[in-house]
Amino acid sequence: MLRFIASDLRRHWAGVIAIILIVALATALGVAVTLQERALRLGSARAADAFDLVIGAPGSETQLVLSAVFLQAAPLPLVPGSVLAGLVADPRVRWAAPVGFGDFVDSYPIVGTTQTLVDGMGGLKDGRGFARLGEAVIGAAVGMRLGDQFHPQHGRVGEPGGTHTEITYNVVGRLAPTGTAWDRAVLVPIETVWLAHHHDEPKAAVAGAENPFLHNGDAGEPHAGEAEGVHDEDAHALDAPLSAGSIADPAAPGVPAIIVKPRTIADAYKLRQQYRSDHTLAVFPGEVLTRLYATLGDVRTILSIVAAGAQALVGAAILLVVTVHVVQRRRQIGALRALGAPRLAIFSIVWGEVLLIAGIGLLGGFGLGYIGARALSSLFSAASGFALPVSFATDDLVRLAVLLGTTAIVASVPAMLAYRQSPASALRS
C-alpha cells in the first residue's frame, strides 16, 4: 500500500507540491503571529526586569517606560533635581539614578546617568566605570572598542541636529550583556549631558570646577539660537573628576526620568504612592507592559482569526480538489476493486495520501512560521536593542496535534467516497 501511495504521489508531483505549499503558507501565518507575539512579551518583560520603579514628570506612563527602559527617544518633561536628591537620601531606596537623553553617536543613544546605574545593570565586562566628565561606558552590543573617542551628536545620523564638537568622550568600559535595549546604549556622566546642553546658564560647582549646569532646565533640548557644544573656556571641565554628591544637590538640573531600586517590595509600593502626585509620576514598568500586552493580545487575536480563516479556506479548497480527484479516478479505483483490493485498502490509500500531503504541509508551515518569526525578531532586535526569544511551547505542540487530528478527520471524507464506490458502476462509467 505504501508503494502504491508513493507511486501515485510521484505521478502527480506538481499538484502535490502545490497543495503542500498552500497548506504550509497558510499555517506559517498563524504560527509566525503566535511566536512573534510571545517573543515580544517575553523579551520586553526580561528587558524591564532590572527596572523596579521609574519616576518622571506627569505625562504618559507608556512613554515614560518606553523612554527610560527601552530608550525610545521622545521629548519628556523634566523632574526637578530636588526629586532626585530626595530619592538618593531616602532610606527606602537602595539606589536611584538619573536618566538623561538627547544625543547619539551613530545610531546608539547616549544616556546620561551615574556609575550607580552601571553597577545596577550588572556591572562591567571590560574596562572600568567613568570617573571623569569626558568618559563613557558602552553597552555590550555597541560597535566601539575601549580607547575609542567620539563626539556626541544631537539626533541620529541622517537626522537634522548639531554635533558637540568641543566634547570628546573616551570609552573606558563595556557593560556586561543584559539582553535589553541598554546593550546598544552609550552611558556617560549625567553632568556632561547638562554641560553639553546648557553652557550659557547659571553655573554650579561640580568637584570644585566651575561647570555650566542648568538649574531646572530642559536636559534634552538646546535653547533656540545656541550653538551645540561647550564654550572653549569650559572644555577643560571634561577632565574634572566626578563628584559623588553632585546628583544629591537639590539645585541640580532636572532629568527626564529616574530609575529607582527600592529596598523591599513594600518600599516600592510606598514610593510609587508617594510619587504619584501632581508634580511627579511613578510607575512599575511591569504594570505598564501588562496593558501593552493586552493591546498586543487583541491584535494577535485578530491576526489569529484571519490566519484560522485562511487555513479553513485552504482546507475546504483542498477537500474539494481531492474529492474531484477521487471522482476522476473512479475507473482506477474500480479496477483495483475488481482485481480483489478490499474496500478498507482503498479507504486507506486515499486517506493516507490526503493525510500525508496535508501533514507535510502543516509541518512545513510550522517550520516556515518559526523561520519567519526569527527573522522578524532579528530585525526588531536590531532596531530596539533587546532580544526577542523565539521558541515553541507546549501549546504549539498541542495545536499541531489538533490540526493533524482535524486533517485526519477531514481526509476521511474523500476516502469514504472511494470506499463506497461499486467496482461495477465505476468500470461502466
pLDDT tens across 321-333, in order?
777 766 666 666 6
Confidence of residue 197 (pLDDT cuts 50, 70, 90): low
Q: Which span out of 12-16, 26-30, 265-269 was modeled with the highest average pLDDT? A: 265-269
Beta carbons of 247 and 190 less than 8 angstroms apart = yes
- 234 and 137 within one domain: yes
Q: Which of 111-115, 147-151, 229-233, 341-345 has the lowest mean pLDDT?
A: 229-233
Q: What is the pLDDT of residue 297?
A: 66
Query: For residue 323, how many C-alpha atoms fall within 13 Å in the half-sphere facing its CB?
Result: 11
Q: Residue 175, Cβ neighbours under 10 Å: how many?
A: 26
- 353 and 231 within one domain: no
Q: What is the pLDDT of residue 294?
A: 73
> In 233-342, where does DSSP find H-type helix?
265-275, 285-328, 330-338
Q: What is the pLDDT of residue 329?
A: 65
- 264 and 158 within one domain: yes
Q: What is the pLDDT of residue 325?
A: 65
Q: State yes or no: pLDDT of 220 exceeds 60.
A: no
Q: Which of 46-55, 297-306, 333-342 has the lowest mean pLDDT?
A: 333-342
Section 249-273 average pLDDT:
91
Domain end call among 283, 306, 333: 283
Q: Which of 51-60, 62-71, 347-356, 371-380 has the lowest mean pLDDT?
A: 347-356
- 218 and 69 within one domain: yes
Beta carbons of 229 and 167 less than 8 angstroms apart = yes
Q: What is the pLDDT of residue 18?
A: 85
Q: Does the model's pTM come out above 0.75?
A: no
Q: Which of 33-37, 118-122, 123-127, 243-247 has the lowest mean pLDDT?
A: 243-247
Domain end call among 254, 283, 312: 283
- 273 and 239 within one domain: yes
- Please, what is the average pLDDT of the chain? 78
Rounded Cα distance, 429 and 424, in Å: 9
pLDDT tens across 382-401, in order?
776 677 888 898 888 888 89
- 145 and 76 within one domain: yes
Query: What is the extent of the structural domain holding 232?
Result: 53-283
Q: What is the pLDDT of residue 66?
A: 87
Q: State yes or no: pLDDT of 336 exceeds 70.
A: no
Helix axes of 285-328 and 394-420: crossing angle, nearest 10 degrees: 20
Rounded Cα distance, 351 and 356, in Å: 8
Rounded Cα distance, 215 and 254, in Å: 7
- Tell me if residue 138 falls in helix, strand or coil: strand
Pairing of strands 186-189, 108-113: parallel
Q: Which span out of 160-174, 220-234, 322-336, 348-362 was modeled with the highest average pLDDT? A: 348-362
Confidence of residue 201 (pLDDT cuts 50, 70, 90): very low
How many domains are contained in the chain?
2
- 150 and 243 within one domain: yes
Q: State yes or no: pLDDT of 304 exceeds 80.
A: no
- 333 and 270 within one domain: no
What are the distances in angstroms from CA 159 to CA 33, 104, 381?
33, 11, 21
Pick 386 or 1 by higher pLDDT: 386
Q: What is the pLDDT of residue 216?
A: 34
Section 168-194 average pLDDT:
89
pLDDT tens across 143-163, in order?
899 999 998 887 655 555 567
- 124 and 36 within one domain: no
Pick 267 or 29 by higher pLDDT: 267
pLDDT tens across 396-429, in order?
888 889 888 888 888 887 777 766 666 555 455 5
| Cross-strand pairs, 260 | 53, 96
Residue indicated by cell numbers 521609574: 54
- 138 and 14 within one domain: no
Q: What is the pLDDT of residue 204?
A: 35
- 137 and 61 within one domain: yes
- 177 and 205 within one domain: yes
